[in-house]
């Protein structure tokens, strides 16, 4: 027993010296693959580029050939993929034999287009900028738009645009998602530039409907402010309003429509009465049916007063 313990101790002590003398297998072709042969799961879908692996290889500067016997292989590959602007998370890196590497990824999802001078910039729910070059003109029209009065961000794709208004609008855009077109919306409107320390949940938001009506939404999703309606309640109010009226401009719009109140929805024309166009008989809504818009009664507010000439 004592002899066996001594033998084991001797082997352990001599192993580093012996290992240095053994031939390295890392360079053998059966243990190597090209970086571009890495498989990703799930496969990229537009607008995520199909050549994502090639882009990672080019941007990261990793060797063209990698060895499965390298001790740092999985950490090096994970780090390379994390630096790509479309990659939200590297779930795992798995190597197998014969030589193969599979990387499981979570991709960032565009939720909003920020309209700035010179075009539109795509961002995800966390305000991370995405590569504009991966979007076609038709792509940019599929997503909610924020009319942003600030300047174009001086950050590269893959980094966060830390502007409270953008972060608040991204939350609302993500909530509305596929309902954006069904709800006949055109843009998210935010106030003038907020202080950098402002909590995005406290940013008051409005929506512009097709035809020019303005919808007072309230605070961004996630707010726990007392008295704030749940976002799903507000969406149901918009759906019911459209079911009753057809659009936000009937019968004498465009309107300012306020859906924040617990007991009622209020609206007032945005134009003076004499400038309103009277709808035809076929366009007039059933006012009896439209009396209850969503979970609150509809109340007409006074139209804005026109300034009298002196």
What domains sit in the chain, N to C, each tagged with a CATH number? Answer: 29-107 (3.10.20)
Phi, psi dihedrals of residue 245, rounded to the nearest 5°: -110, -20
pLDDT per residue rounded down to tens, the chain (310 residues): 555 555 445 444 544 554 444 445 445 566 789 999 999 999 999 999 999 999 999 998 888 888 888 889 999 999 999 999 999 999 999 998 888 999 999 999 999 999 988 889 999 999 999 999 999 988 888 899 998 877 788 889 999 999 999 999 999 999 999 899 999 999 999 887 677 788 999 999 999 999 999 999 999 999 988 889 999 999 999 999 999 999 999 888 899 999 998 888 999 999 765 444 454 444 444 444 444 444 567 777 665 544 343 3
The SS3 call for residue 154 is coil
Distance from C-alpha of 64 to C-alpha of 87, rounded to nearest angstrom? 21
- pTM assigned to the model: 0.78
What is each CA distance from 64 to 84, 268, 291, 298, in whole angstroms?
17, 65, 68, 66
What is each CA distance from 31 to 37, 40, 51, 96, 266, in whole angstroms?
13, 19, 24, 10, 70
Distance from C-alpha of 88 to C-alpha of 147, rounded to nearest angstrom? 26
The SS3 call for residue 10 is helix
Contact 296, 262 (CB under 8 A): yes
Question: Which regions of the chain does DSSP assign to beta strands (E)?
Answer: 32-34, 39-41, 65-67, 87-96, 100-107, 110-116, 119-124, 145-147, 185-189, 204-209, 214-219, 255-258, 264-269, 292-293, 296-300
Other CB atoms within a 10 A radius of the CB of residue 310 amount to: 3
Give alpha helix (H) positions in the chain.
Answer: 2-21, 52-60, 73-82, 137-140, 164-176, 179-182, 231-245
Distance from C-alpha of 250 to C-alpha of 257, rounded to nearest angstrom? 12
CA dihedral angle for residue 104, residue 110, residue 111, residue 112, rounded to 10 degrees: 160
């Amino acid at each position: 027993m004592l002899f066996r313990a001594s033998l084991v101790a001797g082997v352990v002590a001599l192993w580093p010296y012996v290992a240095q003398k053994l031939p390295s297998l890392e360079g053998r072709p059966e243990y190597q693959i090209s970086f571009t042969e890495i498989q990703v799961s799930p496969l990229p879908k537009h607008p995520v580029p199909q050549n994502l692996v090639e882009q990672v290889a080019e941007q990261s500067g990793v060797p063209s050939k990698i060895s499965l016997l390298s001790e740092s292989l999985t950490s090096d590959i994970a780090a390379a993929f994390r630096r790509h602007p479309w990659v939200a998370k590297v779930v795992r890196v798995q190597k197998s034999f014969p030589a193969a590497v599979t990387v499981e990824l979570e991709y960032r999802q565009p939720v909003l287009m920020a309209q700035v001078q010179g075009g539109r910039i795509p961002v995800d729910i966390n305000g991370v900028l995405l590569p504009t070059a991966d979007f076609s003109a038709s792509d940019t029209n599929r997503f909610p738009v924020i009319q942003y009065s600030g300047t174009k961000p001086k950050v590269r794709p893959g980094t966060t645009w830390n502007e409270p208004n953008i972060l608040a609008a991204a939350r609302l855009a993500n909530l509305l998602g596929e309902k954006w077109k069904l709800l006949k919306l055109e843009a998210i409107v935010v106030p003038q530039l907020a202080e950098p320390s402002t909590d995005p949940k406290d940013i008051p938001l409005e929506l512009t409907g097709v035809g020019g009506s303005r919808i007072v939404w309230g605070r961004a999703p996630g707010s726990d402010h007392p008295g704030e309606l749940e976002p799903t309640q507000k969406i149901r109010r918009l759906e019911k309003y459209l079911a009753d009226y057809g659009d936000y401009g009937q019968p004498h719009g465009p309107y300012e429509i306020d859906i924040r109140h617990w007991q009622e929805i209020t609206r007032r024309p945005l134009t003076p009465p004499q400038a309103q166009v009277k709808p035809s008989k076929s366009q007039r809504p059933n006012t009896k049916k439209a009396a209850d818009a969503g979970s609150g009664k509809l109340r007409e507010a006074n139209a804005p007063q026109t300034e009298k000439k002196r």
